[in-house]
Amino acid sequence: MSSSKRRAPLSIDFIIVGAGIAGLATAFRLCQAGHRVRVFDKAAGPNRRAGGTHLPPNATKVLMDWGFKDELLKHGLSTRASTFISIDTGKVIGCLEWKEDVLQETGADYMVISYRDLYDMLHRAAINAGARITYGTTVTSVHADPPRVELQDGTVLKADMVIGADGPRSTVREAVGGWSSEEVPEGHSAYVAIISRDVLQNDPELSDLTRFHENRPDYPIWTGDSRHVIAFTVAGGAEFAIHAFLPDSEVDGIGDKDGWDVIVPREKLPFHFEPKLQRLLDIPATYQRVRLFQRECAEEWTDGSGRLLIMGEAAHPLYPCVLQSCSMQIEDAEVLGTLFSRLRAWDQLPHLAEAFQELREPRTRAIYAKETKAFDTVWVGPGPQRDARDQALYGMMVEGHKGWDESKMRWQWDEICEVFGYNARDAAEDWWVMWGMLRERSITREGYCPSSYTVPFCMGATVTHYAELRN
């Protein structure tokens, strides 16, 4: 049975703090597993962030398994390459291409989609699965004994487990570890906008940008000294997403306010690039801005009782608008949902919560390191390092037209298999086979009987027979 179809023998009540990608995806998976889920978010309503997002194979394979194939085909677009262009001259430097044979080995497609479409997809799915989502509600404090949250108006809500998917400045993280995340400004911000594709098609100087996906599935990256711009088609081809990364030192008068609700007028942004890119960036009247921070991974993702747990940006750092930003949150949800589809006794809670960190921390640390290194590659200044990068990208573009030999295909597979080839469901299932089942067998041999465990107050009953909890 697929883990997304399996229902836990023991169904419990969850409160999730935060209704971003991580919170919605987790609500959906836990409801699928038969649990009862309430989600609270301080935002006034569903997220309406601009821009697009990447869905590399490690994310699309999860979404396909969740049953979102039709929606992905409707709203997303496949992509196979990134064309690198000089941000100063407009000259094509080269390309980074993902070969079809390699992508097939990862088990899924590489897609791009608007953030709005991905959010709405998960929001609908979570509600249809049974999650209750409440916006405009701020959680001010979280406690473990018993598990509960206190809202800004003083209301106290109880559950069997509280999950923090409330971002890097997480309230739940403070309750888990007694400390908040340290953060240092990285020195750049991302500026994001969406424009109608019709605007580009009607502009003779920009219409060829819309043909990146028509002629072959790639997207442009304008790269320069400590800055870059990415643009790609989203919304099933109807819109064009722009992500511009600029040094904070060059943008005046925007203050230190942070978050996706920061709107910056176009005239405040120092876009002085090659003519075609300049024309493109001048179209939006405003951009949404989010700052980049360097953050540390939380030391503990769960408290001693196993009743509080953090995930997503509350647990591990993520840069916004990069290749794996949403993918790591989707993977988190799949691993957690798979683990808790195995829940059959109350004493499993701390073990499953610890397993989540054991599985996800090494993976998210590795991805964060790769994303940090990618910035160094894209932002490299003039000199030997940039020359070497450009030569490699040019060589890949030229050799791509001639066809790749087996050694180059093997090189690319070795480079991406651990990233794109990762399967979140398999990782969780493997842990269960190796450790979860081993623990259950050990308990059985020792004559342990969970019938003495009392269901927490929010369930209102006592477990009398272990057999009654089994499917």
Q: What does the pLDDT average to over 433-443?
A: 75
Given a cut of 50, is residue 133 above it in pLDDT? yes
- Torsion sign across C-alpha atoms 265, 319, 210, 378: positive
Q: How many CA atoms lie within 13 A of 220 on its CB side?
A: 23
Taking residues 204-219, report their average pLDDT: 71
Q: Give residue 217's identity as a one-letter amino acid code.
A: P
Contact 314, 170 (CB under 8 A): yes
Residue 211, both tokens: 């043909």
Q: Rounded to a whole number, what is the distance in angstroms from the first to the last CA of the chain? A: 13
Q: Find out whether 232 and 262 touch, Cβ atoms under 8 Å.
A: no
pTM of the model: 0.90
Cis peptide before 146 (omega within 30 of 0): yes
User: For the chain, how many helices (H) and strands (E)?
Assistant: 15, 19
DSSP string for 375-421: HHHHT--SSHHHHHHHHHHHHHHHHHHH---HHHHHHHHHHHHHHHT
Please tell me the predicted confidence (pLDDT) of residue 415: 66
Average pLDDT value for residue range 100-126: 91
Q: Is the pLDDT of residue 466 over 80?
A: no
**Does residue 459 register a pLDDT over 70?**
no
Q: What is the mean pLDDT of residues 367-377?
A: 92
- pLDDT number for residue 366: 94
pLDDT computed for residue 360 by the predictor: 98
Task: Quote the pLDDT of residue 468.
Answer: 34
Question: What pLDDT, on the 0 to 100 scale, is given for residue 159?
Answer: 98
Instruction: Kindly report, residue by residue over 157-167, the tens digit of the pLDDT.
Output: 999 999 999 99
pLDDT tens per residue across span 241-293: 999 999 999 998 766 777 788 999 999 999 999 999 999 999 999 999 999 99
Query: What is the mean predicted confidence (pLDDT) over 169-179?
Result: 89
Res. 471 pLDDT band, cuts 50 70 90: very low
- pLDDT, one tens digit per residue, over 78-99 is 988 889 999 999 999 998 888 7
